[in-house]
């Protein structure tokens, strides 16, 4: 099918990033949120991202204007009736996402692909929110969406092959690389990444040198950022939440959070957003 008209539900950081990426690839984009103020903030995020690309010389001003002109906004789900794809990008709250998906299902065409950008919730459980779960799957983008080249595609128990094929075609049109992963807690990337960060925190408990740990992974493993600095960037409370989710989902003690991580979160030292984590930020 021709994937021309795409809707994104949720105008936050992820939603606005997905909107920008789709519009930049030539799609007509409808951004939906419950408040006009949220939509305004989302469009401001897109504008700032585009301005930053212009400053870096990776985008022409005319291209930025064309991208913005392809993005339309609305507070009404009734505007979904002409969409080819709808991507839910609300916060990681199961009840909220299910409520949104029920409304999407009411107004979207029967041949419309419905997806969630969830990074943690069960795709099969979310699919139960709509009448035809075979047309639902997970399309997990990474932050910042316009820059990160990977997208996880997660099929639920009832997701059809046709739905997977359509999602794969969309990601290809966006110029990104898709990996297919099973519907398991935290899917693939976070399931590998977060335990690595947790292990770095265990090592920090033993030798107490955050700079050395990050340097060892940057210089020894060619990672662009050390695991402790990355934890600060993600947010230590978020890292702890993911580890708790992995331990609950798999029942495996290897996902137990490092005691130092729990202590840091309890102290409010959450990383870059609080000004201090494993490193200090001005």
Judge whether 198 counts as a catalytic residue.
no
Select from 3.40.50.720, 3.30.420.240, 3.60.21.10, 3.20.20.70 the CATH code of 5-181.
3.40.50.720
What does the domain layout of the chain look like in residue ranges?
5-181, 190-272
- Tell me the pairing of strands 28-32 and 71-74: parallel
143 is catalytic: no
* Residue 73 annotated among the catalytic residues of the structure: no
Tell me: pLDDT of 1 over 70: no
Q: Tens digits of per-residue pLDDT, 172-202?
A: 999 999 999 999 999 999 999 999 999 999 9
Does 74 qualify as catalytic in the annotation?
A: no
Q: What is the pLDDT of residues 88-146, one digit of tens each?
A: 999 889 999 999 999 999 999 999 999 999 998 999 999 999 999 999 999 999 989 99
Q: What is the mean pLDDT of the chain?
A: 96
Distances (CA, A) of 13 to 103, 173, 217: 22, 21, 28
Write down the catalytic residue from 16, 73, 119, 183: 119
Question: Which fold is adopted by the domain 190-272?
Answer: 1.10.1040
Of 183, 190, 198, 245, which residue is the catalytic one? 190
Name the token pair of 140: 């997990």
* pTM (2 d.p.): 0.90
Of residues 88, 117, 129, 140, which has the active-site annotation?
140
Q: Which residue out of 152, 183, 198, 245 is catalytically annotated?
A: 152
Look at the chain and count its residues: 282
Largest CA distance in the chain: 58
Q: Is the pLDDT of residue 264 over 80?
A: yes
């Amino acid at each position: 099918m021709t994937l021309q008209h795409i809707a994104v539900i949720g105008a936050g950081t992820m939603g606005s990033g997905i909107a920008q990426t789709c519009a930049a690839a030539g799609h007509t984009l409808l951004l939906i949120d419950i408040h006009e103020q949220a939509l305004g903030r989302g469009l401001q995020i897109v504008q700032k991202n585009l301005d930053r690309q212009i400053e870096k010389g990776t985008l022409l001003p005319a291209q930025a204007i064309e991208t913005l002109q392809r993005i339309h906004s609305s507070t009404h789900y009734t505007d979904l009736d002409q969409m080819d794809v709808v991507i839910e990008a609300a916060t990681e709250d199961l009840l909220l996402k299910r409520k949104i998906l029920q409304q999407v299902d009411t107004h979207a065409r029967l041949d419309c692909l419905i997806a969630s950008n969830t990074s943690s919730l069960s795709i099969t459980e979310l699919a139960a929110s709509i009448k035809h779960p075979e047309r639902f799957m997970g399309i997990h983008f990474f932050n910042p969406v316009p820059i990160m080249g990977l997208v996880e595609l997660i099929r639920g128990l009832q997701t059809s092959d046709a739905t997977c094929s359509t999602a794969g075609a969309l990601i290809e049109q966006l110029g990104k690389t898709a990996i297919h992963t099973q519907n398991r807690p935290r899917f693939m990337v976070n399931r590998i990444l977060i335990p690595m960060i947790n292990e770095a925190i265990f090592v920090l408990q033993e030798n107490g040198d955050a700079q050395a740990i990050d340097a060892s992974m940057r210089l020894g493993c060619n990672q662009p950022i050390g695991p402790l600095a990355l934890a600060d960037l993600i947010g230590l409370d978020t890292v702890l939440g993911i580890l708790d989710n992995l331990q609950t989902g798999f029942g495996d003690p290897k996902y137990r959070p490092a005691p130092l991580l729990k202590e840091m979160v309890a102290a409010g030292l959450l990383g870059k957003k609080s000004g201090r984590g494993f490193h200090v930020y001005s």
